[in-house]
Structure 1
């Protein structure tokens, strides 16, 4: 008899982003492995970004249960749609208006752990009806939003016989933007208490990085396993350099704090020192980019260099990766971001184009890049080294030799393989 899984997720197509793709692909491969899949998602969500192309990737035969949700973001949008969407995307400006400061304070202190917490009551009711008919279900909650994990907490209290796996795509109280939410003492304490309850009551915890695993293992005695994100695209079969300009591309959101001034300064110096470099250079940004970062780039580089794409659907984003000379991976220069392994890194690996990454020393992404011989990693202080590497890659480009990585270490990150790891964690709960 197939094991019954009840998965509760806020993000699902047509929502865009790597958080959607994680469980979209898990369900695809879990279904192929014979699991009975049941999915609870919001009926009328207010997603910050949409990617309609992902709808065609939903596996057939899923039992999808849509539960209505009240989205406070729709009320806030009456004040400013743009401000609300930016907050949903994690883009918080350093210089904020009075309205923006109030919205951020309300988000941090009135909605704990997040603005989707009100969805819980309806979800628990629907989930309880399902479990009553399927008493030996495995409940899986995935966050952010971390309020989704509170459903598992309530269901575990009501039905002690179920097994509950909590999947953390990002940390909770140490997530990068937490300190920007103007949290009061009471709200901060509530976050910590809820996180501790989830970690203690879940039968098993899954995270996406070794740093988060180490953090959680210090907070709970429950098993904590790493199941990274992955890729499900056809790996780039052509490792020769693409034609066209010396194209440096970043795919994904660039928050205000993810602003590598050292990179813009290095590119500016190379342009000043070498007119050929400047004529060949194109900086492509695909995704939501904060105004602060755009101003930083514009203050360093000629306007003709910057190419803005906005949010690209998944297929177009992959095409941009394949056509790039260098893929940029930029993380916030902070101790707490060492645990962040952005989902796009695995598609970067599959694209087989050289990666130039910047972030805090000792980050988990540094180890992945080094292990896979996929490029170079720099701290925000590595001005000279970064400049030398970019000029080296440019010279390879000019000679037609800026080829990609020909070693296929990255195949272990294929979604079929990461799903096998997840399934092993599910089965361990029932041993």
Structure 2
């Protein structure tokens, strides 16, 4: 089998990013396609958050090397401040040169045919393009998010650093991969001189093995309130829950909903204290709970046990889809997507028949639709995805797409 060197920052025991699962599942299924993955990650000391729950998911026998790396914000700061040069393009730039040295050792020893590097850690792409130029191997650059958009990065110095890396990578990579059609189109417009066949869309998804232990369907326990769950980060600039909270308060205030029939859980928001203040300000402390992160398997089970799964996505992120939405779709639970109807998130919910789409910013629209939607949920008539509709987003199918990209590049180089 041919080898593929994976350069990934988000790798167990890192926790707190859905991006861990993309690379982890690619490496799980690549051997089925005739590829042996090799992993180059960072020293766990550099991870802002760590957890052991996914260490057991690393395929036995996978070669994993970890290069020296520090987090400038934690390891190089004095009284909370650190030199900008120690954090360009990001806080983990100290990983760059040690990873290049380790990567060259791995290339000499294991003779991989391709290099794969995944963003949103910009240093990973810097490592990838450096190794590709030093070794002559083709680089596959994975963009889980767009590196540069109209609004991000906001810091002009960081923005210029990102632009330089992006331009080097797009010019030097053998292939670039994006997670949504709109992200792909954004880059095709940005780099019109590059061959269209150099860019590919391989979506995020779910791993069927993670759901094998769950019952096909489970009824809500008698007497339990309808449970609406949002699992994952809730940043106010991208996923603002305040219009939803206001609309929920309106429905409770005028009697269209009762406090004893509905509860909302915000799990692992990334700013629990901030969201508790928002809930208190909305007068919903007895209806909305803010809960801490769970291990991955437990988080999936909670999704499968919920009555409604919530998605928040602002119009500024129209080219993106929250990675958890694919897991939501696989559960078969009704999805309430609070987003822009013109965005990728709304399109995915509608094409998979997974639920209902409402305007994230419209308190009035949410308040008008929420009671009827929950009544449909209670009757079992709310829209939800079937297993057949979900299967197109399986990690196994997506890994086959990635292997095809690898094979084309390896064949070209060979």
TM-score normalised to structure 1 length: 0.86
Q: Distance in 2 between matches of 1:399 and 1:230?
A: 29
Aligned to 2:68: 68
Q: 1:166 aligns with which of 141, 146, 149?
A: 141
Q: In the alignment, which residue of structure 2 is the partner of 1:4?
A: 3
2:88 match: secondary structure: coil
Correspondence for 1:234 among 193, 199, 211: 211
Please tell me whether the aligned partners of residues 341 and 347 of structure 2 are also in contact (alpha carbons under 8 angstroms). Answer: no
Tell me which residue corresponds to 1:286.
267
**Distance (Å, rounded) in 2 between the aligned partners of 1:298 and 1:400:** 32
Offset of residue 256 of structure 1: 2.6
Question: Counterpart in 2 of 1:193?
Answer: 164
Compute the displacement of 1:404 (Å).
Answer: 4.2
Query: Over residues 206-264 of structure 1, what are the superposed CA-to-partner deviations in whole Å (9 max), with x where a residue is unaligned?
Result: 11111211111123315111111111132765456523211111000111322132211
* Cα deviation, residue 401, structure 1: 5.3
Q: What per-residue deviation string (whole Å, max 9, x for no partner) do you get for residues 195-214 of structure 1? A: 11111111100111112111
Contact 2:313 2:360 in 1 (8 A): no
More displaced stretch, 37-46 vs 118-127: 37-46
Aligned residue pair count: 399
Residue matched to 1:94? none
Q: Residues 296, 176 of structure 1: CA spacing in aligned structure 2 closer, same or farther, 3 A cutoff?
A: farther
Matched, 1:339 2:319: yes
Match of 1:147, SS state, is helix
2:124 is aligned with 1:148: yes
- How far off its partner does 1:57 sit? 1.1
Contact 1:240–1:402 (8 Å) recurs in 2:
no
Corresponding residue number in structure 2 for 1:95:
none
Quote the residue 1:117 is aligned against: 93
Q: Taking structure 1 as reference, are residues 355 and 421 closer, same or farther at Cα in structure 2, changes over 3 Å only?
A: same
Instruction: Give the 3-state SS of the residue equivalent to 2:171 in structure 1.
Output: helix
In 1, Cα distance between equivalents of 2:218 and 2:105: 55
Matched position secondary structure for 1:329:
strand
Task: Quickly say closer, same or farther: Cα 1:132–1:315, change in 2 above 3 A.
Answer: closer
SS at match of 2:125: helix
Q: Secondary structure in 2 aligned to 1:395? A: helix
1:138 equivalenced with 2:114 (yes/no): yes
Contact 2:228 2:264 in 1 (8 A): yes
The residue that corresponds to 1:49 in the other structure is: 49
Confirm whether residue 273 of structure 1 aligns to residue 249 of structure 2.
no
- Residue of structure 2 equivalent to 1:299: 281
Q: TM-score normalised to the size of structure 2?
A: 0.89
CA RMSD of aligned residues (A): 2.4
Match of 1:85 in 2: none
Matched, 1:374 2:350: no
Match of 2:153 in 1: 178
Deviations 1:29-52 (A, max 9, x none): 012333122111112333233332
Partners of 1:251 and 1:392 in 2: CA distance: 23
Inter-partner Cα distance in structure 2 for 1:322 and 1:349? 10
Moved more, 20-29 or 308-317: 308-317
- 8 Å Cα contact 2:3-2:110 kept in structure 1: yes
Counterparts of 1:191 and 1:347, CA distance in 2: 30
Query: Are 2:293 and 1:322 aligned?
Result: no
Structure 2: runs of 5+ lacking an equivalent: none
Q: Distance in 2 between matches of 1:397 and 1:44?
A: 43
Q: 1:328 & 1:175 partners in 2: Cα distance? A: 27
Change (3 A) 1:361 1:406: closer
Counterpart check, 1:410 vs 2:387: no
- Bigger Cα displacement from structure 2, 3-12 vs 30-39: 30-39
Distance 2:235 2:201 in 1: 26
Farther off after superposition, 342-351 or 303-312: 303-312
2:18 alignment counterpart:
18
State how 1:354-373 maps to structure 2 within 5 Å.
354-373=334-353
